Amino acid sequence: MSTHPAKSPASKRLALAAGATLALSLGACASLPESGEPPSGPTAADAHRISVTETGEVLNVPVGAGDMTLSHEARADLAAFARSYVRWGHGALMLSIPTGGGNADAAARLAQEARVWLAEHGVPYGAIHGALHDGSGGDDAPLLLSFMRFEATAPECTPLWRQDLAHPRGGNQAYESFGCANVANLAAMIEDPRDLITPRDETPRDAARRAVVLEHYRDGEQTHAVRTSDERVTVSDAVQ
């Protein structure tokens, strides 16, 4: 009759721990069953991207040797150029003056007038930077104005009649131009394409209004604007 030595509790615990470790190791090697769900495809913004490019806007202002002031046409062009800069411009507005030509004196005179005219139409005076360019060899070299802006180019949307909308590839995936029209409309509507690259700076807070609100708060008064009885009646009638 053979006998086996009894295992101590510590040996049993060690054997159980080794078995658990082996089971975990084997489980890590096993692959998970497929869920049956297709991988998520790209979004419309990923599939149809807006292209933002940096470009320049340029204006040439003719200057004659005997010109004493800007013409009406030049003033109108400068006013439109100023509006474009205020709306879309980034960086400095460059005003380059021709030198060395027969109209150099007239160009310097009209450049100063153009600077004032631009400032009167919304361009900050400090944003107008002066420069010089070679105007020798003639007497009709123009003033050159330029600034940097951004343009958004919409993606090209493939027409539906060129696509197979039956989705032969399966997986319930969107057709090729799905969402492209929305992205193209966004490219056409955005105020400043640079907003797609980086957000704008915050506008400064209204210090005067902030002081009024804090004063009302300290006095225990209402901090919002108080409506008159006429305003309440008008709103009440409008929503009936």
- Domains in the chain (CATH in brackets) are 51-153 (3.30.1330.60), 157-189 (no CATH), 207-234 (no CATH)
Burial (CB count <10 Å: 0-12, 13-18, 19+), residue 89: buried
Encoded tokens for 130: 């002066």
Give the pLDDT mean for 222-234: 69
Tell me how far apart the alpha carbons of residues 40 and 178 are, in angstroms, rounded to a whole number. 15
Give 90-124 pLDDT, tens digit per residue.
999 999 999 999 999 999 999 999 999 999 999 99
Q: Which residue has the higher pLDDT, 235 or 209?
A: 209
Give 39-83 pLDDT, tens digit per residue.
566 677 788 889 999 999 999 999 999 999 999 999 999 999 999
Give 140-184 pLDDT, tens digit per residue.
899 999 999 999 999 998 888 887 777 655 666 777 888 899 999
Tell me how far apart the alpha carbons of residues 227 and 113 are, in angstroms, rounded to a whole number. 48
